[in-house]
Every structure is written in structure tokens, then in C-alpha cells.
Amino acid sequence: MCGILVYFNRNGISGTELKRSLNALQKIKHRGPDGEGVVLINSKTGEFHNLITNETPNGSPEHKVSIDEAQGLNFDLILGHRRLSIIDVSTNGHQPMYHPNGNWIVFNGEIYNYIELKEELRSAGIKFKTDSDTEVIHAAYEQWGPKCVEKFNGMFSIVIYNAKSKGLFVANDRFGVKPLYYINDGDKLILTSEIKQVKEFNVSLTLNKKAVEVFLKDHYLDYDQQTFYKEINRFKPSCYSTIDLQSSTELKGSSYYEIENTVTENSNSIEEFVSLFESAIKLRLRSDVPVGFASSGGLDSSSVLYTAYKLLSNNGTPDLSTFSAIFPGMDGDESEFIKLIEKDLKIKSHYVNPLEQFNINDFEKHIYHQDFPVQTTSYYAEWCVARMVNEQKVKVLLIGQGGDEILAGYHHHFYRYCRQLILSGKIFKYLSLLKKYAELKGIDKNEVHKKIINEVKLSLKFKAGLANLGNDLSNKWNRADKLVDLLKMDLLEFTLPTYLRSDDRDGMAFGLETRHPFLDYRLVNFCFSTSNDLKIKDGWQKWILREAMPVMPEAIRYRKDKKGYTTPQNLWISKNKPAFESYLNYLPEDIKKMQCSDDFLKYSLGAWFKTNG
């Protein structure tokens, strides 16, 4: 887990541009506090020089030059890297990393199955000098070319300078866990891990008012490749691109992964789910530094924790640490469930009360690191947890993000599934499911029925061409009749992308790597191939996960409520009302007039204008 910078100028890079590049790299020092690496490359000849800065570790490669010496060199490509040491923490894992064939790589993320890939490559006669996953990427690209990404199980943004083609290979992981941003104008190309880096290059940026309007009205962020600047785009997940630097800087993404919606019947579904889930967690426990676990008291994070405990028990009693945000005595607090796990597993639990820690300057730092405004204060709570993890000297945190999107965990998933049942004529199955759901939740089934009938009416209006919610995104989301289509949208467009970017920014602000077992692509493929009955059954959502976790306390395994990551947001705002309202002063007049569904969205947007805009 690290941060990268790539800068290319077809006409050569000046001393001023070099300094701007180094400043852009310093902007993400928080992502990689363990060292800095920079290589200067002449893309036409392949000639290179390793730039030595104050934070370059000892023992880095040959062909070293100082910043002053670099002024007289002829180069047009800069690869920069900030390192957070997780795998092979020695200088052997230093980046940019050179390959004997002349290639160079900068890489942000982890390839969890690098050990298995290394063995496969060794059987093909390839030798290795390090224990890093970075060298495995180098070798995999040499052996299999761009298709190597299909073999990677991990999260990654990869940029490789190909000495033979005199171009770049760029790739992003399947779900965009490690975002990569870019801006190009034909002669120049900038690739960064965070948007704030681009601003160091003195480029002209234009506010994307359409994206701002969508955020204020519908809460959507990260739903496509747009950002809040028209000139900056996010590289598309599940894609790679090969760029011929001698002719173009355009990134034409080629897709290498798609989720198939084909449902297959499997009588051993629970056993297969357990096997894949355990494998996903086992891979994500690989680390040469301490690993911790997020614990919310909910089903997803608890499933990760209990499974990890089981896997690690093979070598004796595990010494595990969990990290949680709590709000004692307030609505939505999950302390009782977190403490139940602590007592059951006899683990070390660490708690933070974000309400007590909150101050307006800290909130602004949070928004600055996010690169975007936030929809709720839940993201600030995650920020506080990440800081606490860092204080405990833990560098890796396993979290339960993604479980809801692949296993139908949100309330709207239940309503949409019921809509699907009615529209497909399965009325008796719907009525049975409705009754059981209402009994489990302790709510009036007639009230739930009204909501579902409204869903059905909306679908019929769409089919008749009578519905228009005023936003293409909202129309698309509400038009989907099948649960599997809605899950796919939530996973790839509407909910998860923003959660993942938030995880990345909040964690990396404190040099913390977050890992997501539910997003192992093998597990995602499996869950999308299972029938809806394994996701929603007898009134329970995420049914297969509950069945797969008999070791978990029943109070958590069969929790009837669904809280999400709840925070006392209204209390936060009321206690800090003047400070929050002051952010409105930073909004342009035309933005102030935009329709907004929640006052907090404008407060958050104002904070973004103050710190990032």
C-alpha cells in the first residue's frame, strides 16, 4: 500500500516541472511514510537515473543523481513512489523497481496471491531476488503481458514503463479499491493516487458543477469516472491500458473482468461459500507488519473476525486486536455487541468515541484527505478509528466492507426483491416472505406492503414511460427490476465506490492499509452466481453468511436490526452549528442556490471548497 505519481511531457521535463513533481509526491507522504523513490526516464532511449531525495532509503539502485545534477539531464518521464512497507519491508521492496528487461514499475496496493504466482512463474524458469509482490508483478507482466492482471487477486493501481514498446502499461483492480486519477492534454500526462497531487502542476482546473449538483440533490459520488474537476478523471476499475508515449497520451481502457449474472444451482453452496471466504481472509492475513480488525458488532465485520480467529488458531491462541467507534448511551451505539465479541474471543479491543474527539479543525483535515465532500459524519467516525489504529502501531486493518453489496444486506435490497417476486407472478412466495420479514423486524406488515407496492407502481410507470425522477442516475437505479441488477449497480456504481475511496483516504491519511475479504473476486463471482434464496430467505437477509457462521454468538449472527455505521450526526451539527454554517460562506453563489436534500451536504461541500476547492 503506497502512493504513486507519474508525469510525462513529450517535449522534455524542465527543472520547474521536476520540482512540481516532487511537491506532488510530498503531498501524499501520509500514504507512504516509509520512504520515497523517484526515477527519471528518457522514454525514447530507456536511459534512466534514480533521483536521490532526503527520504530515499539507503541501498537503492545505481545511476543515482541529486536534484541539482538532474537539471542537466534529458528525460521526459518521471515515476515517483511513496512507500508504506507491508510485504518485504527491506529496501529490496523499494520502488520504483527496475526489471532486467529495462522495465520500471510503480505500484500501489497488494497482490495477495503473490506467493502462488511466484511458484507458477518459478516453474516457468523465472528467478526472483526479493520477497516482494512488486517483483512478482514485474515477472507476471514479462511472462503474460497485459493479461497478467487477470491472475492478480488483490487491490492495485499499477503503472509500468515498457522499455521495449517505449510506452506505459496502466491497470486498476477489479473494484477500484485503489483509485488512480489522470489528466492529459496530448503532450502531457499526469497519473496520481490522489486528486490533490494534480494541483501542484499549476494546471487550469474547472469545477464540474454537474457532479456537484448530483451530490447535493441525490448524494451520489464516485458513480463513474468523473470527479469534481472537469479535467481530472478516475481510471476505470477492471481495466488496463497500453499507451504508446511516442504518439499519444490517451488512456483507452480495455476491460479484463465483468460480473456474470448467470445463476447456477449448487447443493453445497454453504460449504463453497465458507471455503472461498476462508481463502479470501487467509490471503489477506499475509503481512510482515501487525494486522488488526475493524469491529462494528455487525454481521460482516464479525464474520471476518471469527473466521480469522479460526484460521489463526491453528498456531495456538491468536493475539488479535480490534478497533471500534462507539457512542455510549446514544441511538445506534453498538457497544454491547462489540463487547460481547471481546468477551467471547478474549481479544484486545480498542475504542474511540468520535463525538468526544470531534473538533472543527480535525473535520477539515478529514475533508482535505477525502478529496471530496462526504455525505454523513459516519466517514469522520472511520477517520477517528484509522487514527486510533495508527496510534497502536498497526499498519493493516481487515474490514467487512462489501458484504452488503454482494449478499443483499440493505433494506432497499429486500424491497426490490419483493418487487421482483410480484412482477414475476410469485405472489404466494412474496406474501410468505413479507410475513416472516415483518415478524422478524417487529413491524406492521401492511406498512411494509405499502412500500413494496409503491416500488411495483414505480416499475410499471417506468415501463409505461411515465416515470422520471429528474436524474439519469436515479432513474437507472430505480428502473432495475431484478435484485441481481441492483446489487451489481450498488457494487460498481452507487454505494461501494464511495465507501472504498473513503476507506482508502481515511486509512492512508494515517499510513494504514485497509483490506476487504468480501471483495475477493472469487467470492464476488460466487455470490452473484447463487440464487436469491441464498441471499434473502425466511425474512433474513445475507442468509448464506448467517448459515456459514455457526461459531458466532446468536445475538450477532441473528441480529434483526440493520444499523450500518450510525453516528449522532444531528447532535454533532447542533453542538457545532456556527462552525458548520460558516462553511456556507465558501460556496459560490450559484452553488448556494442549488437544490439540496440535506443541510449537512452543503456544510460538507463548503468545507471541501475551503480545504480543496
Tens-digit pLDDT profile for residues 218-249 = 999 999 999 999 999 999 999 999 999 988 88
Residue 370's pLDDT band (cuts 50, 70, 90): very high
Q: For the chain, give the mean pLDDT.
A: 95
Which of these CATH numbers, 1.10.340.30, 3.90.850.10, 3.40.50.2000, 3.60.20.10, describes 2-255? 3.60.20.10
Q: What is the pLDDT of residue 479?
A: 95
Residue 564's pLDDT band (cuts 50, 70, 90): low
Q: How far is CA 587 from the centre of its chain?
A: 28
Residue 61's pLDDT band (cuts 50, 70, 90): low
**How far is Cα 497 from Cα 475, in angstroms, rounded to an integer?**
19
Q: What is the pLDDT of residue 53?
A: 93
**How far is Cα 40 from Cα 76, in angstroms, rounded to an integer?**
8
**How far is Cα 293 from Cα 312, in angstroms, rounded to an integer?**
13
**How far is Cα 609 from Cα 457, in angstroms, rounded to an integer?**
40
Which of these CATH numbers, 1.20.1250.20, 3.40.50.300, 3.40.50.620, 3.40.50.720, describes 269-406+496-567? 3.40.50.620
Q: What is the pLDDT of residue 463?
A: 94
For residue 262, with 0-12 CB atoms within 10 Å meaning exposed, 13-18 middle and 19 or more buried, which class applies?
A: exposed
Residue with cell 502531457: 188
Average pLDDT of span 447-475: 94
Average pLDDT of span 386-403: 98
Q: What is the pLDDT of residue 60?
A: 59
Residue 316's pLDDT band (cuts 50, 70, 90): confident
Q: Is the pLDDT of residue 38 over 70?
A: yes
**How far is Cα 569 from Cα 258, in angstroms, rounded to an integer?**
37
Q: Checking DSSP bridges between strand 181-184 and strand 233-234, what pairing results, if any?
A: antiparallel
Among 240-254, 279-293, 405-419, where is mean pLDDT lowest? Answer: 240-254
C-alpha angle 318/319/321, rounded to 5°?
125
CA atoms within 13 A on the CB side of 535: 26
**Considering the chain, what percentage of its residues have pLDDT values greater than 70?**
98
Question: Which residues of the chain are in CATH 3.60.20.10 domains?
Answer: 2-255
Q: What is the pLDDT of residue 275?
A: 98
Average pLDDT of span 16-31: 97
Cell numbers linked to 585: 460562506
Q: What is the pLDDT of residue 475?
A: 94
Q: Please give the model's pTM, rounded to 2 decimal places.
A: 0.96
How many residues appear in the chain?
613
Q: What is the pLDDT of residue 452?
A: 97
Q: How far is CA 434 from the centre of its chain?
A: 34
- Greatest extent of the chain over all pairs of C-alpha atoms, in Å: 79
Beta bridge partners of 291: 396
281, 517 in Cβ contact below 8 A? yes
Average pLDDT of span 263-279: 89
Cell numbers linked to 51: 533521483
Helix (H), strand (E) at residue 171: strand 167-172
Q: Is the pLDDT of residue 353 over 70?
A: yes
**How far is Cα 542 from Cα 560, in angstroms, rounded to an integer?**
12
- The number of beta carbons lying within 10 Å of the beta carbon of residue 38 is 27
Full DSSP string of 364-411: HHHHHHHSS--SSTHHHHHHHHHHHHHHTT--EEE--TTHHHHHT-SH
Residue 37's pLDDT band (cuts 50, 70, 90): very high
Q: Is the pLDDT of residue 266 over 80?
A: no
Sheet of strand 396-398: strand arrangement? 348-352, 321-325, 291-294, 396-398, 513-515
367, 608 in Cβ contact below 8 A? yes
Q: What is the pLDDT of residue 542?
A: 97
Q: What is the pLDDT of residue 373?
A: 98
Q: What is the pLDDT of residue 261?
A: 75
How far is residue 176 from each of residues 195, 498, 589, measured CA to CA in Å? 15, 10, 34
Closest CA to 110 of 324, 409, 442, 397: 397
Question: Which residues of the chain are in CATH 3.40.50.620 domains?
Answer: 269-406+496-567
Q: What is the pLDDT of residue 565?
A: 63
Closest CA to 8 of 47, 51, 37, 40: 40
Q: Is the pLDDT of residue 433 over 80?
A: yes
